[in-house]
Structure 1
């Protein structure tokens, strides 16, 4: 088994008709009894121990819940095997547990399973990598369309295809996804796979720059994208592009917002402005 210098990968169950539905129903009813409550308590107790860094103690509680088919516990147990937290690192066990979780439509597990197939953890299977990535994207209501766009744009799980990426970026942008809006703005500004349109780019950057990202699941990534959009918006306004008059003061206000979000390019512009004689 090869070891890989990588972090924990982040990232359709096939139905078999009426019989499967009956089995699922019966197991679901069984889970409503005292045993189901106890197993839920096991996972909660395990996660409390895990969050406090007591991994060895957490492992037993989480393992018990995972063996009872709790998909969250299965995903966490896979992560523990992957990192060697509370148990010896074991990539085969990590693979098996994340696969069980993914088959229960756990979004993060499906992304992780796709990544494992792509990187050849246990099995190298490009079809399974694509299948599970696509399934994860279908389940991921917040970022699924963006995930598909980035997959095609970067060529990570399948061959790079900017045309398909563009279509998915548009779909994600229709949902108001800040990263998709920012990426589209860059593509329209540069004329990448689309006719160059600075007015469209400016509009996309403007929409992305004003998005509220505080309650999003992937807040950090969205904040970075919003900050990038704010930087590009400030840059275009400073240069008077996209059909607007050049306005240094408005540009600086956007640079400040971008810099507050951690954008280094915006901070560099502010530093350069301050270095000018008689400027801020």
Structure 2
């Protein structure tokens, strides 16, 4: 009879623990973190591995408390020791954090968008002269500007696709981060995106401005050269006309002189005596 009563007591306690765990999970889902943590703490202290796992997660995510990875590890270790597979997975994530912590630092502080500006999307500004003097120079400058614009359009297309996908930070790295780290990483990446976009717009405006100035200066130089050539042509034409006039005058003068010279007397043949 005593054994039966003890068994009934254990069943009753197990049922109560299950009910408490379910209630604690309900409170956690409802984001009533204070009450949830109090219940999980009591159950975890009593040795419940599921409660220990949840308590570790609350310390990880900073729910009802500040983020505390050391506390999270302690509860995960207790839960894992009782055979909880979820706790073992969480410990593996913590171990990855320790081995790959530099990646978290990179995405939260050091990422600079260089990957988006490398390779075929590296678009250095073209050299635009103040003005071009020959058709060959004009052609070369136009080709340089067109090539840069094509590169810049490719960069913007890839940039917009990357931003819209929202998947630039590797999922595995995000999985190692605490919520505050995830926020810092995303805020940092968004700031880098904003800087890249602003720089791209500034580059477009810079090239547009330089191209306009180049066009104006080149057109002015072309007009000046055309005017010089036209003036030279006019001068050459004037000189040619003047030369022709002089030649005609000379011919008329020679003809006039020839007419003014008296004719020689007729030659009389000698007579025979």
What TM-score do you get using the length of structure 2 for normalisation? 0.32
More helix per residue: 1 or 2? Answer: 2
Q: Comparing both chains, which one has the higher relative contact order based on Cα–Cα distances under 8 Å and sequence gaps of 6 or more? A: 2
